[in-house]
């Protein structure tokens, strides 16, 4: 089997990432040498990949998850362009893993040819190496204001001759109109590559939906390849923290007699929110994201997660009243955890001439440390121990570093080179490491200490929870959903032979460019 496919969507969060991963897992289980690809991702959830030169680089978290679905280690080529928003108007550009520039509306047109060339070259290299490459689009292919310079959706499909399926989220409503409208706003050459549809997040009687699918086929000339049901267990490795509900996952009953309640502050520029997913896999641990100061008062553990804009998010924390709630929580001796940007906020002072360019600003003052930002970005995988015998793995993505610290402070972790990392001061914990709680023994040790500090004497960690196994179960579920609910024979033909000839044009097509 050889070929490729583009999974486009009617909207952001329509299900492109999970459908791509599901198709990848299905093909992998069929013995196909398959790889994922997303030309450009915009996300602050990233994974660290060791590049060919041995240096760490970043790709979107979703592409790392899709690589796992393929049975592969992550590769920088799987997501050659990553945009990490630092504000509503500017994003850091990560090209083949390395931060190279900042993009704004003003300079994107100048940067775009370079980004497109890099993306096209990466896809060509992957197609030469793998039997099948399953590509994920971004946003919607019918964003008519962006089509002229597009290299992620139909621009990529046209360049590489990729047949395209469009996935729509029926849970949002209006799925038939959005699918029809997506096709009808494309020009004839783009429409010729749109082979059909997939409905996502359906719950109810399929018999009631089927007449609509048949009518959609009649008016577009394109079939629906299947209807994926709503699956409550698909919440790991979310592409965007906004994809979460208030409570992460499906909390299992406690192993002991008491629950642990974890409140994670949903910062405006939250990054790598996936850090807390490992906590949410533990029975008896309820993890919720919140922007309400009152919800911190009842929490056993408060988490300040990573941030792409530490100083700006700290200012928001103060304006929203959440900073006062965090300080009150810490003053009561209740557990507090800061991760990366959240850790930096706990400092006495933050010196930032790089990200915010605001110079020196006061931190929350909960840790006797100072943070200084460096233009050079630390991007690396890390290993270490806690207590001398508990292994921990994680990864680092940050500009800020601890430039001054009270020498009496106790580190949270001991790195492989013997240096300390992070801080423990009473009930306050901080670390620059992402992903540390995916290490099962460390997670259990940390939650046991949190329960002690919070007075939850009835809480017990479950001895058998394995985060890696939970992730594999999620990927297998995606593969099962594709096998059971999609027309895989038709999907295979599409991947091998491309879009069928003679697909009808649906008017009006793309409107003429303004001006």
Catalytic site includes residue 70:
no
Return the number of other C-beta atoms located less than 10 Å from residue 328's C-beta. 13
Active-site residue, 432 included: no
Q: Are 87 and 107 in contact (CB under 8 A)?
A: no
**Closest to 478 in 3D by CA, of 153, 70, 48:** 70
Tokens of 341: 């940007």
CA distance 430 to 354: 22
Task: Report how far residue 247's alpha carbon sits from residue 230's, in angstroms, rounded to the nearest whole number.
Answer: 17
Cβ 60 vs Cβ 82: under 8 Å: yes
Report the alpha-carbon distance of residue 178 to residue 163 in Å, rounded.
19
Could you say which of 340, 351, 399, 485 is catalytic?
Answer: 340
339 vs 348, 350, 397, 402, CA distance in Å? 16, 15, 11, 13
CA distance 129 to 482: 25
3-class secondary-structure state, position 194: strand
Rounded Cα distance between 169 and 37, Å, is: 21
402-405: which pairs have CB atoms within 8 A and are 24 or more residues apart? 402/347, 402/369, 402/370, 402/371, 403/351, 403/370, 403/371, 403/372, 404/369, 404/370, 405/368, 405/369, 405/370
Which position among 28, 398, 432, 434 bears the catalytic label?
434
Report how far apart, in Å, the C-alpha atoms of 485 and of each of 83, 176, 217, 491 are: 33, 19, 18, 12
- Closest residue by Cα to residue 398 from 361, 416, 426, 373: 373
DSSP state of 316: H
- Give 389's contacts (C-beta < 8 A, 6+ positions apart): none
- CA distances to 148, 169, 400, 501 from 118, rounded to whole Å, are 18, 31, 29, 30
Say which residues have a Cβ less than 8 Å from residue 109's Cβ, sequence separation at least 6: 149
Q: Name residue 36's beta-bridge partners.
A: 134
Contact criterion met (CB below 8 Å) for 3 and 12: no
In this structure, what is the dihedral angle of CA atoms 359, 46, 388, 286, given to the nearest 10 degrees? 100
The residues that are catalytic are 340, 434
């Amino acid at each position: 089997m050889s070929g490729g496919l583009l999974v486009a969507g009617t909207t952001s969060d329509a299900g492109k990432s999970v459908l791509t991963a599901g198709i990848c897992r299905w093909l992998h289980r069929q013995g196909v040498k398959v790889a994922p690809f997303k030309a450009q991702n915009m996300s602050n959830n990233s994974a660290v990949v060791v590049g060919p030169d041995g240096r760490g680089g970043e790709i979107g978290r979703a592409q790392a998850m899709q690589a796992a679905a393929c049975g592969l280690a992550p590769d920088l080529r799987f997501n050659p362009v990553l945009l990490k928003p630092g504000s509503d108007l500017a994003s850091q550009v990560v090209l083949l893993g390395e931060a190279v520039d900042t993009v704004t509306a003003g300079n994107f047109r100048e940067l775009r040819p370079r980004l497109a060339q890099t993306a096209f070259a990466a896809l060509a290299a992957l197609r030469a190496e793998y039997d099948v490459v399953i590509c994920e689009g971004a946003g919607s292919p019918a964003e008519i204001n962006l089509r002229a310079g597009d290299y992620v959706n139909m621009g990529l499909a046209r360049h590489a001759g990729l047949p395209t399926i469009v996935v729509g989220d029926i849970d949002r409503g209006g799925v038939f109109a959005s699918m029809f409208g997506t096709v009808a706003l494309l020009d004839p050459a783009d429409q010729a590559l749109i082979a059909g549809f997939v409905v996502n997040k359906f719950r109810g009687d399929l018999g009631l939906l089927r007449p609509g699918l048949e009518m959609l086929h009649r008016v577009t000339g394109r079939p629906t390849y299947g209807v994926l049901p709503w699956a409550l267990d698909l919440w790991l490795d979310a592409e965007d923290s906004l994809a979460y509900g208030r409570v992460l996952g499906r909390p299992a009953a406690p192993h002991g007699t008491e629950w642990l309640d974890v409140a994670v502050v949903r910062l405006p520029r939250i990054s790598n929110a996936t850090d807390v997913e490992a906590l949410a896999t533990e029975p008896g641990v309820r993890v919720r994201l919140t922007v309400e100061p009152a919800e911190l008062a009842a929490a056993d553990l408060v988490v300040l997660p990573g941030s792409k804009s530490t100083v700006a998010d700290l200012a928001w924390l103060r304006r929203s009243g959440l900073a006062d709630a965090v300080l009150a929580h810490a003053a009561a001796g209740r557990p507090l955890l800061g991760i990366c940007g959240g850790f930096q906020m706990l400092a006495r002072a933050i010196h930032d001439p790089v990200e915010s360019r605001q110079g020196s600003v006061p931190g929350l003052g909960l840790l006797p440390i100072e943070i200084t930002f460096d233009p050079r970005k630390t991007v690396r995988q890390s290993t270490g121990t806690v207590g001398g015998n508990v292994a921990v793995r994680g990864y680092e993505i940050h500009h800020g570093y601890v430039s001054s610290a009270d020498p009496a402070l106790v580190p949270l972790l001991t790195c492989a080179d013997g240096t300390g990392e992070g801080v423990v001061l009473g009930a306050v914990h901080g670390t620059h490491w992402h992903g540390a709680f995916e290490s099962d023994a460390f997670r259990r040790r940390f939650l046991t200490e949190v329960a002690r500090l919070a007075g939850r004497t009835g809480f017990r960690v479950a001895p058998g929870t394995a985060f890696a196994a939970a992730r594999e179960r999620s990927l297998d579920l995606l593969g099962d959903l594709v096998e059971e609910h999609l027309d895989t024979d038709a999907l295979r033909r599409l991947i091998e032979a491309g879009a069928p000839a003679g697909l009808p044009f649906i008017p009006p097509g793309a409107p003429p460019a303004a001006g």
